[in-house]
Amino acid sequence: MAGIAQGVAVGLMIDSWLVVVYALCGSLVWNWVVRPLEEVDLEERFGAEYAEYARAVRCWMPRLTPFLPAREHPVTQRRSTGAAF
């Protein structure tokens, strides 16, 4: 997201609508062509671990809390070790 904003900002600063359009079109190509191919590759490489991550983390909107895989989540660890809350 920051890269898109940076490309648009540079285009506006140098008064070049061509750069603005290039930045926006590049982001659309990445979102609809490149990203799906990368996600398939990542799921083949990392399996369930990547699937869990993809379900928990959105592509364009940042999380307000950090992503913690189930095996690293403090509540899950306490439950698995029998520690008291």
CA–CA gap between residue 2 and residue 4 (Å, rounded) = 5
Q: List Cβ neighbours of 8 (8 Å cut-off, separation of 6 or more).
A: 20, 23, 24
Kindly tell me if the per-residue pLDDT of 82 is higher than 80: no
The SS3 assignment for 2 reads: helix
Kindly indicate the confidence band of residue 50, based on its pLDDT and cuts at 50, 70 and 90.
Answer: very high
* pLDDT the model gives residue 75: 52
**Phi-psi category of residue 63: left, alpha or beta, with phi > 0 → left and psi -120 to 50 → alpha:** beta
- Judged against a pLDDT cut of 70, whether residue 21 lies above it is answered with yes
Q: Token match 């926006």: residue?
A: 24
Give the mean pLDDT of 41-64.
88
